[in-house]
Amino acid sequence: MPTRRARIPATRYPVERFTLDNGLRVVLTPDRSAPVIGVAVVYDVGIRSEPEGRTGFAHLFEHLMFQGSENLEKLAHFRHVQGAGGTFNGSTHLDYTDYYETLPSNALERALFLEADRMRGPRLTEENLRNQVDVVKEEIRVNVLNRPYGGFPWLTLPPVMFDTFPNAHDGYGSFDDLESATVDDAADFFRRYYASGNAVLAVSGDLDVAEAARLIERHFGDVPARPAPDRPDFAEPELTAERRSSYTDQLAPLPAVASAWRVPDPIDDFTAYLPYVVLAEVLTDGDASRLVGRLVHTDRAVTSVGGYLGFMGDPFDVRDPTALLLQAHLPPGGDVDKVLRTVDEELDRLATDGLTDGELARTQARMATHLLRDTDAVLGRALRMAVLEQQRTDPGLLGELPRLVGEVTDDQVRAAATTLRSERRASVEVIPGGAR
């Protein structure tokens, strides 16, 4: 008998979209419930766009965008946002780079001016470049080189799974590549990828649509028009045999393993992709999930296990090729091969027997709760809508995601599980320092 699914209604966020003459796409989603706004600008350039010899450049350039702009000196962006009671940041992803602010709604024009000014041009000087190269190198030391499990698995698994430079290289960057970067490299990167036609501006929160549109035209309308560059083909051949790799982490106290399988194209084949998103949660979300119950509580073969889509952990902001990942940390003397065999057994059991009564509905309800919570804040809504507009030209999909998750069937999850075979798997093992 088919298992019960969760009945989850769609959430109707109001959405207004338009495009300026210079190609900048704009998404507005008003919410007058609190006097707060979230502003996000997303550029269609990420780690996969970096040229060979310039690993880490997308992230380095994110730092440079905070070092002053056409009409503002260094640190002015910080001062103007914080002086209005707001917060700000930016982040680099595989397929995009974002910049964002949360502010009181009476500071909307301030945020628009700041983002438009650096869209016209950041201050690309030798001093700023050298300073930020040093900052990024220190970030790598703190987050990767001097931290247990640093870069595991988002940096260490892609070169096992993928063959091409865009998909396999170190997105944080090598010190040699970072140190050899020039101001001319930065200027070329800006001209190519930071074009108005390659960006999306999203504003969510306490706004009047007509007034916000007028302010956006005022501040962004005269940004010089440059078209979006052609996006390279990042296609990658499918695995035909299992791949395994290992490395010793001198700081890691315990062994760990991560595995990944290719999944359908999340943009062009979304219907086939969505069951894998649900499958990852069925396997690892909560104490009642398949792998937590078996590996942590019953076998005690691992101390923790997690599953997710995409190497950076967000299933709805990534393009093809991408993967379903499982990662686990093991107790002292843990047996990685046994863990992988157990994963295979649980996948086979799921594919053969299907889900238990209530298992799918429980998982879907938890997923919908997480989706709604993540977009409850106006900034989360603006960021997600900007990415959905950029990658799918459909920001309204944000409100549909909980319902679509709830429509995934038992048969679709079972079919997804049947494809996660060992011959399609790439795995990387962390050997704790001193182990043999």
pLDDT of residue 436: 45
pLDDT tens, position by position, 291-344: 999 999 999 999 999 999 999 978 999 999 999 999 999 999 999 999 999 999
- In the predicted model, is pLDDT for residue 31 greater than 50? yes
CATH architecture of 16-220: 2-Layer Sandwich (3.30)
Contacts of 256 (CB under 8 A, 6+ apart): 149, 152, 327, 328, 329, 330, 429, 430
Q: What is the rounded distance in angstroms from the CA atom of residue 324 to the CA atom of residue 37?
A: 34
Class of domain 243-432: alpha beta
Residue type present at position 98: D
pLDDT tens, position by position, 189-223: 999 999 999 999 999 999 999 999 999 999 999 99
- In the predicted model, is pLDDT for residue 3 greater than 90? no
Every domain of the chain with CATH number 3.30.830.10 lies at 16-220, 243-432
* 285 SS3 class: coil
Sheet holding 323-329, edge to edge: 243-249, 425-432, 256-262, 323-329, 304-309
Q: What is the rounded distance in angstroms from the CA atom of residue 436 to the CA atom of residue 431?
A: 8
- In the predicted model, is pLDDT for residue 8 greater than 90? no
